[in-house]
Chain A
Amino acid sequence: MRAGSLIRVLLVALLLAAAATAVAIFIPWLPAQASKEGERIDFVFWFVTAICIAIFSVVASLSVYSLVKFRAKPDDDSDGPPVHGHTGIEIVWTVIPLMLVLAMIVVSSVALAQNDREPKGALRVEILGQQFAWTVAYPPPGVAPDMDHFVCFTPGSGDVNKRCKRSPNLVLPVDRPARLHLTARDVIHSFWVPEFRQKQDAVPGLETEITVTPTKTGNYRFICTELCGLGHALMRARAIVMEQSEFDTWRGAK
């Protein structure tokens, strides 16, 4: 590649990178963020986005330049130069993507490990999915948060232990980690609060867990995201985040 075309490709690449960055910044890609886990997930999201913008602008600028510049004239029947390959270039475009991939793997793994940790003093919440509603239950204070069986639910039943506080919505205190223990009664459902970024399937006969640490009070969507039958689209509840004192009053109330 000659110096002149290199500069032109670079210019196109910069233009495309600017355009892609504008798309990334000015379109509201992600909903409001309301949990500590969400912060880490968003960091990974923007980290990957930056790498992808770089890859995109390299690929797109090379192709745009090539397709404009090397268009055959209408009556030109000749062939291009018989270039069969270039070991150096091939090594470069194997090794650089490999490095980028490894970087994304490390960043993702760290974020995942932090989000998966069960923090000390977490609030234990048990969630049962069934066609087509959620049941959220809070074991009485004093029950260890890391119990290995459900306190409020019995397998195969929709009943809730009387000692537990029961709610159709997920109610959480702000700034306190909550460990959600999920299961399902009939088919697979999936817990998702877009503002928390956390998602986890609720599987019949299994106990799945996920940590959420709300950082902002508010009223969010709590959606089932695994097709669970005819009412799947309507299996929606609210996730309400309130101050700790407010939460204590709510939990104590009958």
Chain B
Amino acid sequence: MRSTWRRRLLGPGWIRAIWMTALFFGIGFGIVVGIRALAGWDPIVFWDAIIVVAALTAAPIGFLAGLGAFDYWIAWAFGQPTKPEDHSGHGARRWTDYFRINTDHKVIGIQYVSTTIFFFLAGGLLAMLVRAELAQPEANFVDPQTYNQLFSVHASLMIFLFVIPAFAGLANYVLPLMIGAPDMAFPRLNALSYWLLPIAGIMMLSSFFFPGFAAGWTNYAPLSVTQPFGNVFFSMAVQWAGASSIMTALNFLVTIVTMRAPGMTFWRMPLLVWANFTTSLLVVIATPFIAGSQFFVMFDKVMHTNFFEFGEGGYPLGYQHIFWFYSHPAVYIMILPGFGIASEVISTMSRKPIFGYRLMALSLVAILILGFSVWAHHMFVAGMAPWLRIPMMITTLLIAVPTGIKVFSWLATTWEGKINFSTPMLWGLGFVSQFVIGGLSGIFLGAVPIDIHASDTYFIVAHIHYVLLGGSLFTIFAGIYYWFPKMTGRMYNERLGKLHFWVTFIAFNATFFPMHIIGLQGMPRRVYSYEDKFGDWNLFISISSFVLGVSFLVFVYNMIVSWARGPRASANPWRGMTLEWQVSSPPPLFNFDEIPQVVGNPYEYGVPGARHAVFNGERDEVRAERREEEEVRT
């Protein structure tokens, strides 16, 4: 009896997480108060510093330690016995296994996707409130401070807690399966990187209780520095979310480089693997820049350094350069994995090989490289050296070429195919069509003279939503529906899936297409009141956006009910060729009972007798078949 209590209190889990969170908060509190008392600073109990050190830094570390994220490493570091072959924390036998540190990439993938959908719905609610305010020209629903917080937190949640980690979650589930690996290269690091996410999300949401994060998700200095104290909630939340991204990206890189099944050369990898390979390179190289930019803002704010305060020798444009050096590559971090998902879905559902596989992979690499040389196109009117706009315009518009190649190749893949208009395919094709519109408006913005007029207007708002909602979100849905049978072992309701697509597709266009018009006509972004003449359009947009919001309830209902009671799914409902479809749904604990041998390309639809991979038992059989074929030919 006593020993079970002891184990509950001291063993990894939620009880230990709660008291260790409190303990670490206390330690942080002690450090701040102790130093201030020793130095004789007034006041000794200084809450601004205590919140940053104790609540936003120490307490989350305590939470992670309590949950057990560091147990193995700490034991190893202190020379205690570790059991590398202990798989008690691997896989989900009960639903509670999804609520603890779990080293199974499949469990982590589902944890990721569920968590990010929660934050997607939260961020969507904030957007509904923004639209409620904008339904009429004058201020009437929320006060300006709340309004500025609403759109700031909306964007931050959607970017850092939805799009980026939702892709990481989907890839977490399918990528090891696709390359024939039993798990990710670093399963414990994988678990840790998931658990950083809820911490970041709760920090962003709780910024509503400490007003101050009201400078937009871009958090431009010097405005952010002059904001009330609560701005540090964004600065710190970005650190946690960014650390999570970097860890996952490292994990993907090492997994892809070292854990491919025999025969899986780079030119035989599915395009989703290529997409996550390039995305991970972007994440690893770029993410430290936003971490730096937000640390600088926080230092300026809390410690009164002078990175960006011009009167003290700081340089306001420096912030924008550092910020966009991450945040433009971040746009590709938010779309390249979507390109990967679209390629999988469109090829399988068209029953045809992906058109121009190598050029598809190479254009991902071209976007990766060009993506680092375009950041200042967000600063065409910012006051940087005027000549710098020309090279930035050239690289920006050049990215249209590899992106165009991808769009043309998807279309060519459907050409003369046998197109199956299932729900994932609808989302995949919907993505291509909306992304074309977002790409074309991007060309307008890439041309400096037009950007000078359109910058910081609703045209920009329209453009980013076509790219991130019509682009990223649509591919996330394509991925969720496509792999839902694999993940849950059950089939979703196809009619509800199609209903979800069509309502979202129509309401999305009704919401965001008119924004192009009012933007060019002269409505700036990030305002809570506007000229009367934009009133009609805004009312129409607000109503459409509420329909858009409601459409996601169909999705949530479909997912929950189908997961609980949907019909059993077969191992390969889409007749896909990639490796994740060659194992049961859901897959065995370590993915493959025997290591697959990759013998061909991943999209050989329509090629008689073609195989992507064979398993040990079948190998001799296949060899015999080949020999026979050769004999027939000669």
Contacts and interface: CB of A to CB of B under 8 A. Distances in A.
Interface of A: 27-31, 40-41, 44-45, 48-49, 51-52, 55-56, 59-60, 62-63, 66-67, 70-72, 76-86, 89-90, 93-94, 97-98, 101, 104-105, 107-109, 111-112, 115-116, 155-156, 186-188, 190, 192, 194, 197-206, 208, 221, 223-234
A187 B310 CA distance: 10
B606 interface: yes
Contacts of A90: 356, 359, 405, 409
Contact of B400 (A71, A85, A101, A192): A101
Interface stretch (B68-76, B233-241, B282-290, B411-419): B411-419
Contact of B607 (A82, A107, A223): A82
Interface in B427-479: 429, 432-433, 436, 440, 443-444, 447-450, 452-453, 455-457
Contacts of A198: 452-453
Contacts of B398: 98, 101
Nearest to B353: A84
Given A70-B419, A79-B418, A108-B448, A227 B429 contact: no
A205 B530 CA distance: 29
User: Lowest 5 CB-CB distances: which A-B pairs, in order?
Assistant: A205-B310, A194-B522, A79-B606, A233-B527, A82-B606
Nearest to A208: B383
Contacts of A84: 353, 355-357
A98 B402 CA distance: 10
Interface of B: 139, 144-145, 148, 214-216, 220, 222-223, 226, 310-311, 315-317, 350-353, 355-359, 381-383, 386, 389-390, 393-394, 397-398, 400-401, 404-405, 407-409, 411-412, 414-421, 429, 432-433, 436, 440, 443-444, 447-450, 452-453, 455-457, 516-517, 520-522, 524-531, 575, 604-607, 610
Interface of A is mostly: mixed
Contacts of B450: 41, 44-45, 48, 108
A32 B414 CA distance: 44
A81 B440 CA distance: 31
Nearest to A44: B449
19 contacts: A27-B517, A44-B447, A48-B447, A55-B404, A66-B414, A67-B429, A81-B606, A93-B404, A97-B405, A98-B398, A104-B397, A112-B389, A112-B390, A194-B522, A199-B452, A200-B452, A225-B525, A227-B215, A230-B144
A233 B310 contact: no
Contacts of A112: 389-390, 448-449
Contacts of A93: 404-405, 408
A190 B527 contact: no
B393 A108 contact: yes
A104 B444 CA distance: 10
